[in-house]
Amino acid sequence: MDALAHYIDGQWVQSQGRSQDIVNPSNRAVIGKVALGTVEEGEAAIMAARRAFPAWSATSVDTRLGYLRAILDALVVRNEEMADLISLEMGAPRWLAQGAQAPSGAQQFRETIKAAENYQFEYAMGSTLIRREAVGVCALITPWNWPLNQVAAKVAPALAAGCCMVLKPSELAPYDALLFAQIVDEAGVPPGVFNLVFGDGAMLGDALTRHAQVDMVSFTGSTRAGMAIAANAARTIKRVALELGGKSANIILPDADLAAAIPASITTCMNNSGQSCIAATRLLVPAAHYDEVRALAKQAAEAMTLGPPNSDAEIGPIANEAQYRRVLDHIARAKTDGAELIAGGGDCPAGLAPGLFVPVTIFGQVTPDMAIAQDEIFGPVLAIMPYDTVEDAIRIANDTPYGLSGQVWGKDHASALTVAKRLRTGMVHVNGAPLDPAAPFGGYKMSGLGREWGVQGLEEFLEVKAVAGGA
- What positions carry a catalytic annotation? 243, 277
Using DSSP, state whether 38 is helix, strand or coil: coil
Residues comprising the chain, all counted:
471
Does residue 265 contact residue 250 with C-beta atoms inside 8 Å? yes
β-pairing verdict for 429-430 and 444-445: unpaired
Amino acid symbol at 94: R
Enter the DSSP assignment of 288: G
Instruction: Write a three-state SS string for 109-138.
Output: HHHHHHHHHCCCCEEEECCEEEEEEECCEE
Phi/psi at 141 (5° precision): -125, 125
- C-alpha–C-alpha distance, residues 423 and 433, integer Å: 16
- C-alpha–C-alpha distance, residues 321 and 331, integer Å: 16
Query: What is the per-residue DSSP string for 213-282?
Result: T--EEEEES-HHHHHHHHHHHHTTT-EEEEE-----EEEE-TTS-HHHHHHHHHHHHHGGGG--TT---E
